[in-house]
Structure 1
Amino acid sequence: MESGTLTDSQAGLHPDDDLRTQILDAARHLMVSDGYSSLSMRRIARKIGYSATSIYLHFSGKDDLFYTLIDEGMERLNRYLEEASRVNASADNVLRAICNAFVEFGLTNPEYYEVMFVLHPDTGSRYPAPKYRKARRNIAIIASALEKGIAEERFVIGDVALTANTIWATLHGVVTLIIAQRIDKTLQRNRLVTGTIEIIIAGISNPNLKSS
């Protein structure tokens, strides 16, 4: 080994990390392009140039791959939302930042987004409870912004959990339509996103709050 060259272990890398990443990338692409039911370990193996046996050393089957991709996507989304939630601003602007971050994540990572929120296998094991609890952290970030707005008397909300999920569902609809290229061609994408977020905020804003 040449002087100054780091081994994988010295660099903090596992020798199998690259193969695992290749497997997940190939599985994600095949799921989105051909559907979950068409996915097989053999197809993934052909795509990355390894044997199916090599894939089984990392993943027990299709469900394991699918749920790992969802988990990775949720972690990525969480980073987007966490960063947005740290903005030093009033609750309405924090919520704007979070909503914009959600949309940005979906449009920047369309394959992850489809695996996380659109694909629905006809058969498969139940989504693991620990992973589901981790996924709910993203809804909790929206809920925290709503609670901040209530504390500031900027928002009037009866049910925070319901409102947080409704906001998520509304943003999901916008992202899904844009990814699928199903929005009205006469409507600019940025205008749709901004307009949707402003309608969300207007719907929960305190009508008695005087603008400063």
Structure 2
Amino acid sequence: MPRLLSETDVADFRERLITAAEHLFAEHGPDGVTMRQLAAALGVSPMTPYRYFKDKDAILAAVRASGFARFAGALEAATAASVDGVGLTTATGRAYVKFALENPDAYRLMFDFAQPNEADYPDLVEATARSRAMLIRHAEGLVKAGEAEGDPVMIAHIIWSSLHGQLVLQMAGKLSPDVDPSALRREAFATILRGLKPRA
């Protein structure tokens, strides 16, 4: 008969499983990983993960929720002291890049994989919304400071999609050897900001 697990036991094992699953899911894709492989990565029986998660999809949701929560936390910490619009956007961008490059597995799972039933996982919904709010907050700062004109949500997505595309190319080694990633980000942001400037 399995021993009664404390809340700490459950939290610790879930965290270990999430860490192991993040790497396996990123390396092989969610469809290429089995519950048996996840159990083997932790040195436990194939049935043990089922004591903590309903199924593999629930583990994927927990992995992605963890990634989004860490991502949002990084953005929040980096922008806590930012007050002006451009400064807020710059701090957001730097924190975004730092997180992506230091956590490539999490970043890939957050943005490269979709779960059709995301709404079934409240922690994932909350962490995703928290991250999106941080990405929109800097665009609101640009509009408020008179540095940009338009809908902050659309502005945020314009900057976000540009930065994401640059990072994906960098992480995949597809940028030209002559292109410095940091310089590319600076030039792209400056170009976008010029286009968003209020018309006289």
User: What is the CA distance between 1:105 and its match in structure 2?
Assistant: 0.9
1:72 has 2:63 as partner? no
User: Hey, what does 1:205 align to over in structure 2?
Assistant: 197
Choose which of 95, 112, 116 in structure 1 pairs with 2:106. Answer: 112
Q: Which runs of 5+ in 2 are unaligned?
A: 1-5
Provide the C-alpha distance between the structure 1 equivalents of 2:76 and 2:87, rounded to a whole number of angstroms: 14
User: Hey, what does 1:142 align to over in structure 2?
Assistant: 135
State the identity as a percent. Answer: 25
Is this contact kept in 1: 2:138–2:156, CA < 8 A?
A: no
User: Hey, what does 2:178 align to over in structure 1?
Assistant: 186
What letter matches 1:196 in structure 2? A
1:82 has 2:76 as partner? yes
1:101 has 2:92 as partner? no
Greater helix fraction, Structure 1 or Structure 2: 2
Is this contact kept in 2: 1:139–1:164, CA < 8 A?
A: no
Provide the C-alpha distance between the structure 1 equivalents of 2:43 and 2:67, rounded to a whole number of angstroms: 25
The structure with more radius of gyration: 1
The alignment of Structure 1 onto Structure 2 pairs a total of residues equal to: 193
Provide the C-alpha distance between the structure 2 equivalents of 1:113 and 1:44, rounded to a whole number of angstroms: 20
SS at match of 1:15: helix
User: Hey, what does 1:6 align to over in structure 2?
Assistant: none
Provide the C-alpha distance between the structure 2 equivalents of 1:200 and 1:83, rounded to a whole number of angstroms: 25
Superposition RMSD in Å: 2.1
TM-score w.r.t. structure 2 length? 0.86
Distance 1:204 1:23, change over 3 A: same
Provide the C-alpha distance between the structure 2 equivalents of 1:109 and 1:42, rounded to a whole number of angstroms: 25
Q: Deviations over 1:122-141 (max 9, x none)?
A: xx651126333431222222
Provide the C-alpha distance between the structure 1 equivalents of 2:191 and 2:78, rounded to a whole number of angstroms: 19
Aligned counterparts, 1:113-132, within 5 A: 113-120=107-114, 126-128=117-119, 130=122, 131-132=124-125
Is this contact kept in 2: 1:78–1:138, CA < 8 A?
A: yes
Provide the C-alpha distance between the structure 2 equivalents of 1:22 and 1:133, rounded to a whole number of angstroms: 22
Q: Deviations over 1:48-78 (max 9, x none)?
A: 2101211111111111011111111111110
TM-score w.r.t. structure 1 length? 0.81
